[in-house]
Amino acid sequence: MSVRILALVGSLRSGSHNRQLAEAAVKHAPEGVEIVVHEGLGDIPFYNEDVDVEGSVPAEAARLREVAGGADAFLLFSPEYNGTIPAVLKNAIDWLSRPYGAGALSGKPVAVVGTAFGQYGGVWAQDETRKAVGIAGARVLEDVKLSIPNSVVRFAEAHPADDAEITGQLVEVLGQVSAAAEPSAV
């Protein structure tokens, strides 16, 4: 059985180390695990319940919900912006949390990982992301963590996909997320 994990990256920057970390996940995904990195989070308007009605849902939000509906699990890559979760990632969580109690995140396993410039690797943002996605109805994998500090220095000359230590940790995370997505894990 193949497990499909939807990756959402909280940084829109073209040279984002979190985007590179997601690319490394795609490259090093274990056999039977498919990682799909969703493109277009920056094109989704801020959540507004007034437009979240049948026939009025913005196309990019509807596309995110459709792709997320087909995912077995989620892997969120969060940088840290001013000590917390990036707005684009929080917005995606808001759209995926609806309809209340039956959103695309509901009951599905979610892990949060990432890298940041600071000495703690973005743990505050990752904790806030876990909190938000849990309240949104996901089954948060609290023990599945990867926080990589000093991203600007660590990845100055090497892509995360070429860092043996990072790829080893990432493969472990992918294995844990995949195992949590198996029907027997529920």
Per-residue pLDDT of 67-90, as tens digits, reads 999 999 999 999 999 999 999 999
* Segment 150-167, tens digit of pLDDT: 788 789 888 899 889 999
Task: Return the number of other C-beta atoms located less than 10 Å from residue 69's C-beta.
Answer: 13
Domains located in the chain, CATH noted? 3-185 (3.40.50.360)
The predicted pLDDT at position 94 comes to: 98
C-beta separation of 18 from 146 below 8 A:
no
C-beta separation of 71 from 35 below 8 A:
no
Distance (Å, whole) CA 6 – CA 8 = 7
Amino acid at 154: R
Q: Is the peptide bond before 183 cis (omega within 30 degrees of 0)?
A: no
The predicted pLDDT at position 141 comes to: 98
| DSSP state string for 38-81 | PP-GGGSPPP-TTT-STTTS-HHHHHHHHHHHT-SEEEEE---B
Return the half-sphere exposure (C-beta side, CA atoms, 13 A cut-off) of residue 143.
4
Average pLDDT for 31-52: 96
Q: Where are the alpha helices (DSSP H) in the chain?
A: 17-27, 59-69, 87-96, 123-135, 151-154, 164-181
Mean pLDDT over the full length of the chain = 94
